Structure formats: structure tokens, C-alpha cells
Structure 1
Amino acid sequence: MASAADVSYSDVFIGSWKDSQETSSKAPTSPSLREMALSSSLSWPCSCSSLVSISGESPPSSGTNSVCPDMSIRNNGSPGQTLWNLTRIAWAWRHAKGVGREKKCWWRVSAVPILVPLLFLLLLTATGVLSSDIMETSQVDVLLRGDECGIWEVPNAETVKASDNTFMIENAKYIGSITEFGRIYARACYNTTSQSNSPMCEAFTREAISYSSQLNASCPFDPETCIYRTGNLQMDTGNIDTNTALGINTRKDNVHFRKVTTCAPLQADLWTTRENTTGPMGEGEYRILWNWGTIPWYNDTDYVAKADSESNNRLSKGFTGYSMVTQRYYRLDERLPFPSSSSFIPRQEFNTTDGDIYFLFLAAQSVNFAKPIDDPWFSAHRPSPGPRNRTYYFSDHLLSPLGCVEQFQYCNPHKDACTPLAGIVPATAAAKFDLDLSPMQSAIVDLLINAVYANNAIILQPVNMLADDTSNDGVQMPLPNNQWVIELQDMHNRVLTQIQRAIVDYARGPSSPAAKQFLVVPDNNYRNLCSMIRARTSGRFASINTYGLALTIGLGTLVILANVFLESLVRCFQRRRKAQHTGVDTWVEDGLLQVHKRTLVLGEDEDWQNTDGAVPVTRYWDSSGRERGMEERGKEDGVECMEEHKRVSIRVEDVDAVRRADTESTLAVEEEQGSAKHADEVARGT
């Protein structure tokens, strides 16, 4: 799972599910909505103009119903209003009769224009849904199927000792893979000032688990062991909600999980033994032993680390990088049958009782520092001449020790109860036996200890120092005085990433087929937990907010119904109160199609019907027409069509002809009268 692409289609549940997160971390996509509104306002008038232009190029029709759609398209401001008017026109003329070959033209003239605003409205609706929070395709939380889920079985002592068996090999491969993933992911996605756009950071339901860092912590051991009595580093995650932060999709069975890590640079010369040795060329060398505890299973060794000087020819060896010696000590609890994973037993001064103990011995004796380093962990002040009259500096100690104590706490938010801070095993035992957990909560606690204890999600991370990024040509460039803090924060980030990864991998299972045989699902609560893990991906899945979609459709339907029936409801209300309908009648008379009615000429024996409605009609849908200009009189072919009609109707051209004939006759009579009058005047004058 080095990226979100590793979530395969077979891992993801396709269907309806409820996201139990209390709040969403995503902001509304307001810019996209504004762009959509602007695009629709500009493109719809263009579409209307094109439609009217195309319809105007077709042979002219004399029907009122053929003119009404053009009027509606021309004078409406939105595709929704245009669609509504065209639908009302088509419905109002559904019983009108045509004549001759135009009987079958009703749907072509009336209903076909409806498709244009309808398709446009559907397109805008789809665009609105895709550009809003109703549908998301970027940073989508998905629910994993959990078909191959399980946790690694707990090995017995014999299995652990025989490190060459299949279990240990597969487990080591798996831990190595999530450790490397943690290094890459943590450096890309943690400690960023803003949300990262890298696909790498779209793997978990929360990109990073936040925590606080304080540099005023007391020494976690006996004060004489630390370089600083105060001023040490403490990293505290606070309460991590397993639902919102770790993606375990249950609110009623969620658990709060806390991790506190306190680290301090230690006195390198404390409780050490120096042994003189001889080098390969007979030169005098020495060895340092750190007597800070015992290793009972290694011949009762009374030291936890050792290092040889090997100072001769140091510069000729070049820059070989950093190495590290680590030790761990876990406190156990007899209530939980976990085998010990401790590597040593600390001496009394380090033996704290309320946490797990870790030693990190940094070996930097093979590193050439370009400048003196004042950082307590990387401290280097021993000068040594180098080539080209340069002076390099060596580490002040063969090993520079640093100690950490990790503490854990569980809380049951539904009972308002928490365990005391303790090591991972004692804290887990206290949670399972003292917090009155539900069966599902108990399974979640087991999943967390598996992520930390079984998968080694601890501060002891493989050596991959951030200081390596500032080396050049075999020489370590200058480091800040708080480099030890930077390195520990990086390790802490990697630990949190591994916990996130282990939760997701519980539902997905390890990628190695050979490792699947070592997975166990103890009971039905674990089985139910398998299908309750969320992950995150982008681009390959879409998440639809059903609540938002239902709300949008519901409110939209309510507005549409109010628009449709408001006039009728007002009339009904006034009728019940026996009030005058003046306001409603004025509203109807000023309607677009009522005003348009006044510009039309009716045929013989024809009259308007439904005059009190939004769409006035006639009995014959082709029996009226709009008066046209005189220059188009010769282009009309209505005379031939008139002969085919079973019922004669007056067309616009005939009305124009009658009017012109009357005008010409009137002019002729006036001309004759004027001529006669002129003749009489001439005769009288004579």
C-alpha cells in the first residue's frame, strides 16, 4: 500500500454504507459551483438562439402551437422555466385537432422542443451533482470488504527462537514492508504545513495523526542518567478516536487510544567499562561496554551495547554512514498471554514501572563532520586533519546513547473511564478487564495491541537518518543543535504511519499468499470488524452522499410543486373565502402566452378556449396564425393546402389579402369621388 492505488477493486465494498465520522474534513467546492452557474447562464441563451434560428429556417406553419414554443424559448431566462412552459403548451394542445396531413404533426411541433431544455437541464443537474459534495471522486473514503482479514497469530516461544521457520520469515517480510512504507509515507505526508496533494497521502481516512511536541519534559529515568534534567522531548498524541482518526467505522463502539513518548539524551560515559584491545597491525585499541542492564538469554551478558575504537586510518575508510544499536524492554501482564519480546532487562536507574523502555545507541565514529556539531546526540568536536588542509571532526563518543519511554492509554468514551498510562501490554490488559468494554470495543483494543506489539510499531526504527540527506561527497554537512529532536519526530511519524497501515491491513490481509495461513479471526466480533475498516482513494471510486442527494431532490420537488400548484391553491383559497380574483386574473392575463394570444388572428368560426388559464387554445391547433410582412405574401403556399382541408380555415395570407383588397377598394372609391368633385368644380368655373 505504497500509494492509494494499492487499494484494489476487490478490496472495496461497492454499495450503500453509512460513514460514522461525526464531521467531514472536506470543504464545499464553491468555486466549481460558481463556474457551473456562470457556464449555464452563458450557454443557455446561445442554445435558445440556435434553436429558434433552426426552427425559423423550416417551412412556416400557421398554427398557434408552432409559434408558442418559439415564444417560450425566446422569453424565458432559464432552461427549467422554458421546459415548464413548453410542457404546459404541449399538454394544453393535446386534444386539439389538426387538418389533413398535419394531424400527425402535433408531437413534432409541440413535444419535440421539450427535449432541448430537458436535456440541457439534465446536463446541468449532472454537472451540479458532480461538482458538489453530493458526489465526490477525490479523496473518497471507501469501506473495505474484509474478505481476507485477520491478525497475525501469536507465536509460542519455540517458534520465536527458531527464527528460520516460515512464520518468522513471512512475519519479518511483512514487518519490513510496513516499516519501509512508514518511512516513505511519514516523510511525504507528516509535518507538512498544508494538506499534501501527493497520491501517496491518500491512503488513510486521515492523512496524518496529529500530536504535540514539548521540549520541557523531565528525564524519564533517574535524573543522573540524562544530559538534561528538563528540556527533554515529549510527543503526545492525545486521544486518538478509532473511528475518525484510524478509520474503524463505528461510533457506538469507538475507543480512544493515546500514545505518549518521552525521550532524552543520556550520559554516554555513565556505567561503562573500557577494555584495552590490539588492532590488526598491533596498534593499541580499546572497547567500551555499556553496563546498563543484562541480557539473560545471551549468557547473562551484563552490558547492553559495546563498540570498538578502530581509530586508525579512519579517513581512508571514507563516509560509511550511521549505524545504531537498539534495545527494548516491555512490561508484561499475567492477564494477557503474550510472549516476551524484550531484548534486555534494564538496571535499576532505568527501570521505570509505567512504560516500555528503549535505548538507541547512535554509532557515528565512521562519519566525517565538516564542522563541529553541538547537538547532544550527534555531538562531534574531535578535530582531525584531512586532505587539502581541511579539518574534519569526529564523534565525541563511540556510541551516543538516547533513551525513550513509551506509554499508552485507552479510554472508553461511552463510560467516561480511562486506564492509567502504562506499557502497551499492561495498558491493554487494564482496558480489557477494567473499562467495561463491549465485545466490539474489546476486539478493537486487540487490533491496536497487534498493531503496536506484534508489528513492532515502536520508536526503534531501522537506521535511515534525516541527517543522511545533508551529506555531500562523503562528508556530513553542518547539523542544527536540535537534530536529535528532528530525528525522533521523524521516527515517531513512522510509528504512527505503521499503526494506520496495520489497521487497514487487518481488513485487506498481507499481500504475500504464504503469509495468509498465519492469520486468525478469533470470533464473530473480529469477523464483524473485518468489514468496518475505511481507507481512502482518489479517482477510481465515487462516493455519493445519500442524505445530501435526498435533501436536494426533496427541496427541489417541493419548490417545483409550489410553482405548479400555487396559482390553483390561491384560486381555491379565494373561492372558499368568496373573495374577488382580481389579483390572480391580472396575473393570468399578463402571462406570456395570454399576451401572445392578442397578436394572433383566428380562423372562421373559431374562438379562444381556456382563456382563464396559462395556455389559451383553440379547437383546431392550425386555425390561427401570426400576421406576417407584405414581402412574404408571395412566398406562402397556403392556397394549395386550403383546398385539401376538410374544414376551411382562414390563414394569415388570406386575412392579409382581404385587408389589402378592402384598402385598394377604398382608395379607388376615394379617387373616383375626388375626380368627380374636381370635374364639377371645373364645370362651375367655366
Structure 2
Amino acid sequence: MRPENWLMPPTNRVSFGPNRTAVFEDKEFRYYHFGPTFSFGRQLSNATFMIGKQWMNLQNREYILAAVTAFLGNNSNCNGCDFVPIGDFSRNDADVSLLGLMNLATYTGPVNDSWFQPTSEPYEQNRKIIGWFTNTNMSFVGCTEQYQICTRNRCSPLTNLYAPNYAKSTLESTEAQSATFDLLWKDIWGTSMEYLVVFLGADVLRAQESLYRLGFISSALETGYWRVEMENIHNVSIVFAQRRYVNFANPPNLEVRPNITIRQYLQEPGEPQRFCKHMKVRSSEHSCFSVIKLASVLITGAIIMLLSPALPAIVSRFQRRSQPGRYRRMSWSETNIMRLHQRYLGDPEIGL
């Protein structure tokens, strides 16, 4: 019997080509309850994650990653949040994200990690070790995201994404600071953990680098590898943030419809217009250098080149005017190798 809270249609259809349709019906499901899920303020299910056995058997990737986020500022009507966490995962000062990992990889060695969760004993067939793999359908990691904004003298408390937006007026910020905050807030909103998973999926995982790309086989991962993944997700979010600033100052001219591009709809901002003119980004197409330093090097080199022909005469003149200089000049003349060679060759006492 299908569970009563099953929300998807009775059958799932997968098209393989013209006039060919494969139909299957899932009868076994796994539900994971961390809080009810919502979509645009409407509750979908009491389960946070749900997978079907047939669906899982059709997957052709080693890792499948899903994410849900509870934005604290939107929990009153859940407009924009994915779920409302249960008490054990609820926070009053942070947004809560849950990452669900379905691990189908087979490892060449044992892995000790609480998120990837492979078995400690290898799978054997005909007394031959096939590999290590997990015996759990999904494993989860929970993360909190906190934000803080500061002016020269005051800072907002560390809290969720929406709270600093409400507290902006209480920080006595200038017009430029307020415009900077608006840009930063939109940037941070688009680089939250959930949206990274939406845009990149399992490609955000560093574990992809250990895959053989052959038969779901992977090298063994180091102990506590989930920490590596969390650090990498944070670094990717920073890269996304940097790129969004570039797109703000110089957005790509994408064609949305024939003969219609994005730049036709650009709005000329007020105070943020100054940011566009002062943003500096590294690019292989341009080089950044100091004109003053370059000019000083060129001028110094030109002076040396111009003085080099007259430099021996100038040094000789100064040597003739000083007693130590005259002594060094005479010593150089008398001990010069060619002078000594001439003296020895011209001496009749030497039988040459």
C-alpha cells in the first residue's frame, strides 16, 4: 500500500525515445523527519527528505546531494524557507541548513567519516574483496549560517540573514554604507549554502576528485572528510560572492529573447553607481602596475646608459684630485697584467 502522505503521482514515467515509455511504481520509501517542508508558504509534507527504492536504483552518479534551509526571518509564514526545523535543530540566532548525501560510491579502502559512512568491513564476492561502500540510504550534516554587519563604531549581533537587513536603520550608516550593505546583502543571499547545492549539486563536493570515473569506484577518503567538504563549500561561496560583484559592475550581455539582451533592462543606480567605477578585479586580459615606479625605473636606466661612456673619464678626473686616488691609479697602472707582461718580455735578463 502507498503511504497516505505520498505527494507524488502514482507512477513516474521515464521516456527513452519516440513512442517508448518505461513505467515503474515505487513501493518502498524512506522518510527522514527533521521538520515539515514548505513551498511558497504552503506545507508539502511532514517529512524533510524522502527517497524511493526504484528511484535510487536508477541513479547514475556516485553522489547525490540535496539541501533544505530554514531562514529564521521567514519562519512566521515560511515564505521562502524550505522547512521548519524540529526543536533539536531549531536556532533563534542563525539560519539552519541540512545537507543530505546519498552515497553510491565503492571505495578501494576503509573510510572513517560520519557523513560518507562506508562500512568498516569490505564487501566480498567469491572470496575476493570488491570494495567498501555504505549501507545507509542517506546521511546528513547540519550547518548554521550567521551574519553580522558593522559600521565604524557599531556592529549588529551575529544572527540570521534577514535580521541585519532589519537592523540596518539602527546602525546610523551613511548613504554610501547603506548602498554597500544592500549590495552585500543581495550577494550573500545568493551564495547561501542551499543555493550552492541548487546550482552545483554534488559537483560542489571535493570527493568528486577521488573518483575513478569507472564503475562508481573511488579512492579511500581521509578520516573526518566531512570537514574538508564544509571548508570547500565555504570557499566556493566566497568565489561566488566575488563573481557576483563583477557581474554587478559589468554584467554579461546575455540574450533573453531574439534581439533582446539583459543590458537593455539595466537600471541606473544612485549611490551604487560609484561602486561600478571603483571596482577592481584581477583579469588575464589586463595588467596592473604603478606608473610612477615604472617611470622611475626607465629614467634611472636612461641616465645610466647616457653616463656609461663618460663614466671612466669622470672617475679618472676625481682620482687625480685626491692623494688616495692617485695612489690607486698608479697601483692599477703598475700591477696591470698587461703591464707586467710587457715588462717581463722586454727584460734582457729573461731568456726569451
Counterpart among 164, 181, 186 of residue 427 in structure 1: 164
Instruction: Check whether the contact 1:362–1:399 (CA below 8 A) recurs between aligned residues.
Output: yes
Secondary structure of 1:353's counterpart equals coil
Q: 1:518 to 1:468 in 2, by over 3 A?
A: same
Return the offset for 1:301: 0.8
Whole-Å separation in 2 of the counterparts to 1:441 and 1:318:
48
Cα deviation 1:412-443 (Å, max 9, x = unaligned)? 13xx211100122212332x212211111111
Correspondence for 2:193 among 441, 445, 458: 458
Per-residue Cα deviation, 1:261-282 (whole angstroms, up to 9, x for no partner): xxxxxxxxxxxx9xxxxxx9x9
Question: Which position in structure 2 is the counterpart of 1:470?
Answer: 210
Q: Which position in structure 2 is the counterpart of 1:482?
A: 224
| Corresponding letter in the other structure for 1:516 | R
CA drift of 1:509 comes to: 1.3
Task: Give the equivalent residue in structure 2 for 1:358.
Answer: 97
Which of residues 42, 46, 54 is equivalent to 1:302?
46
1:404/1:520 CA distance change after superposition, 3 Å: farther
Pairs within 5 Å for 1:144-183: none
Change (3 A) 1:502 1:489: same
Look up the equivalent residue of 1:426 and give its one-letter code: A
SS of residue matched to 1:357: strand
Give 5+ residue unaligned stretches, structure 2.
6-21, 256-260, 304-316, 323-352
Cα distance in 1 between the residues matched to 2:109 and 2:202: 23
Any gaps of 5 or more consecutive residues in structure 1?
Answer: 1-272, 274-279, 558-585, 592-686
Alignment counterpart, residue 509 of structure 1, candidates 216, 236, 251 = 251
Question: Deviations 1:4-56 (Å, cap 9, x if unpaired)?
Answer: xxxxxxxxxxxxxxxxxxxxxxxxxxxxxxxxxxxxxxxxxxxxxxxxxxxxx
2:184 is matched with 448
TM-score after normalising by structure 1: 0.35
| Partner residue, 1:344 | 83
Query: Contact between 2:211 and 2:218, CA under 8 Å: does it hold in 1?
Result: yes
Q: How does 1:566-581 map to 2 (within 5 A)?
A: none
Task: Quote the RMSD (CA, aligned, Å).
Answer: 3.9
| TM-score, with structure 2 as normaliser | 0.65
What is the CA–CA distance in structure 1 between the aligned matches of 2:126 and 2:262, rounded to whole Å?
Answer: 52
Which aligned pairs between 1:149-228 and structure 2 lie closer than 5 A?
none
CA spacing shift, 1:309–1:374, aligned 2, 3 Å: farther
Identify the residue that residue 148 of structure 2 maps to in structure 1: 409
Given that residues 309 and 398 in structure 1 are in contact (C-alpha distance below 8 angstroms), is that contact kept between their aligned partners in structure 2?
no
Aligned length: 270
Match in the other structure for 2:33: 291
Per-residue CA deviation, residues 196-220 of structure 1 (Å, 9 max, x unaligned), is xxxxxxxxxxxxxxxxxxxxxxxxx
Alignment of 1:323 with 2:67, yes or no, is: no
Distance 1:320 1:310 in 2: 15
Identify the residue that residue 530 of structure 1 maps to in structure 2.
Answer: 276
Deviations 1:567-602 (A, max 9, x none): xxxxxxxxxxxxxxxxxxx98x959xxxxxxxxxxx
Runs (4+) of structure 1 exceeding 6 A deviation are 550-554
How far apart are residue 531 of structure 1 and its match?
1.0
Determine the structure 1 residue equivalent to 2:106: 368
Aligned match of 2:173: 437
The secondary structure found in structure 1 opposite 2:31 is strand
CA deviation after TM superposition for structure 1 residue 503, in Å:
1.2
Structure 1 distance, partners of 2:55, 2:74, is 45
Preserved contact between residue 319 and residue 368 of structure 1 (Cα < 8 Å):
no
Give, in whole Å, the separation in 1 of the partners of 2:55 and 2:47: 22
Higher Rg of the two aligned structures: 1
Q: Distance in 2 between matches of 1:345 and 1:518?
A: 37
1:540: Cα distance to partner? 3.8
How far residue 322 of structure 1 moved from its aligned partner, in angstroms, is 0.5
Q: Does structure 2 conserve the Cα–Cα contact (< 8 Å) formed by 1:409 and 1:419?
A: yes
CA distance in 1, matches of 2:264, 2:70: 29
Match of residue 17 from structure 2: none
